Amino acid sequence: MVRRAVGLSLPQAMRALMPGADAGLRAALVESYKQAYRTARASGLVAEPLFEGIAALLDGLRGDGWDLGVATGKSQRGLEHCLATHGLTGHFVTLQTADFHPSKPHPAMLEAALDEAFAEAADAVMIGDTSYDMAMARAAGVRAIGVAWGYHAPDELLAAGAEAVAQSPEDLRDMLR
């Protein structure tokens, strides 16, 4: 997906890809992309598997007393579909998506997540797989821990402000104890 790969919202990606295009054409392309993606997902052509060990990690963190939240570049509809597909709908106290916030690394979605979870920045941890996640955490005054199994390489995560990079879900859980 274009916006995930480059860290831009879909409209921003269209502007970057087509800087001289009419705004109406870009808006039509955004809507066309969204519709094509929804159709592909509804047809079973979009697979969003969990990384191995993530479901157990989430269950373990909840059991350890962590309140979990999501701050993602996905749409609300896409996030809800993904969580339902994996049986994770009830795992999170807050869901923040690109539908309601500026793109990462702007801290708005993380700040909203903190508010909804009644959490203080000093007590929170942002776990992410992109440099945008790490920069967002730093901008919100939240600890940042990267994961090595996502989009950006560990050195990119560290350069963007990660205090550490977990190599596995078990490694991440140990970092959070």
Of the candidates 70, 90, 33, the one whose C-alpha atom is nearest the C-alpha of residue 25 is 33
| Confidence tier at 111 by pLDDT (50, 70, 90) | very high
pLDDT at position 50 over 60: yes
pLDDT (tens digit per residue) in 120-146: 999 999 999 999 999 999 999 999 999
Q: For residues 95 and 112, give the distance between their C-alpha atoms in angstroms, rounded to a whole number.
A: 9
Task: Give the predicted TM-score (pTM) of the model.
Answer: 0.83
Of the candidates 103, 105, 34, 72, the one whose C-alpha atom is nearest the C-alpha of residue 26 is 34
pLDDT (tens digit per residue) in 4-25: 334 667 888 888 888 999 999 9
Instruction: Name residue 166's amino acid.
Output: A
Chain centroid offset of residue 142 CA: 15
How far, CA to CA in Å, does 102 sit from each of 9, 84, 113, 128?
8, 25, 14, 17
Are β-strands 69-71 and 125-128 bridged in parallel, bridged antiparallel, or unpaired?
unpaired
pLDDT (tens digit per residue) in 143-175: 999 999 999 999 999 999 999 999 999 999 999
